[in-house]
A and B are shown apart, each in its own frame.
Chain A
Amino acid sequence: KNEVEQSPQNLTAQEGEFITINCSYSVGISALHWLQQHPGGGIVSLFMLSSGKKKHGRLIATINIQEKHSSLHITASHPRDSAVYICAGNTGNQFYFGTGTSLTVIP
């Protein structure tokens, strides 16, 4: 069993929809990271959080330490949001990655 699990694996949405991607983890972590990977592109860090909630533009990340769960929300989704979203947790310099959620936003 992977230390970090994401759901769903694949997600298709209409432009403008509200999107939620979930992440749960089974190990103790210092911080939870949400990463974005566009097709053929590198991985970009969206958020690093250890408690509460962070917001950047249309993206919101939340974490519940007690439940070992995090969510990434995208409001008013746009086709340019189409990418793979990866959840990762770290303990010190060791990182645990989920397998990613492939999001496709249809115009």
Chain B
Amino acid sequence: EAGVAQSPRYKIIEKRQSVAFWCNPISGHATLYWYQQILGQGPKLLIQFQNNGVVDDSQLPKDRFSAERLKGVDSTLKIQPAKLEDSAVYLCASIRAGGRAGELFFGEGSRLTVL
């Protein structure tokens, strides 16, 4: 079984530029999460999808962050324009069942550095 795929692994941009991260969850996993992890902290939820619908985006800075999962499979997280404080690892995770939570599978993460 292939794991959660993320790209790019690393990205360095100047502030005010834009960046996009891509995630392909494990096949059949209905629930997909995007987390932001700042060094020394635990993952912070940005957005949760159930198939192609948004379940929770309460902590997503919507003035600059956007995410979509149009066909209920892979997802894209975009930041525009980036700020210095957006430097972090962006983690994508998925779980199997829609109604019951099981084991959480993470991708390798996309490390963003904003200069």
Which A residues are within 8 Å of any B CB, using their own CB? 4, 30-31, 33, 35, 40-45, 48, 86, 88, 90-95, 97-100
Contact = CB atoms under 8 A, between A and B. Distances in A.
Contacts of A45: 103-106
Contacts of A43: 43, 91, 93, 106, 109
A86 B42 contact: yes
Interface residues of B, number: 27
Contacts of A41: 108-109
A45 B95 CA distance: 12
B103 A42 contact: no
Given A42-B106, A94-B56, A97-B42, A31 B91 contact: no
Nearest to B107: A42
B40 interface: yes
Q: 5 tightest CB-CB pairs across the interface, nearest first?
A: A97-B42, A42-B108, A43-B106, A99-B42, A90-B101
Nearest to A44: B106
A95 B40 contact: no
Contact of A48 (B33, B48, B103, B111): B103
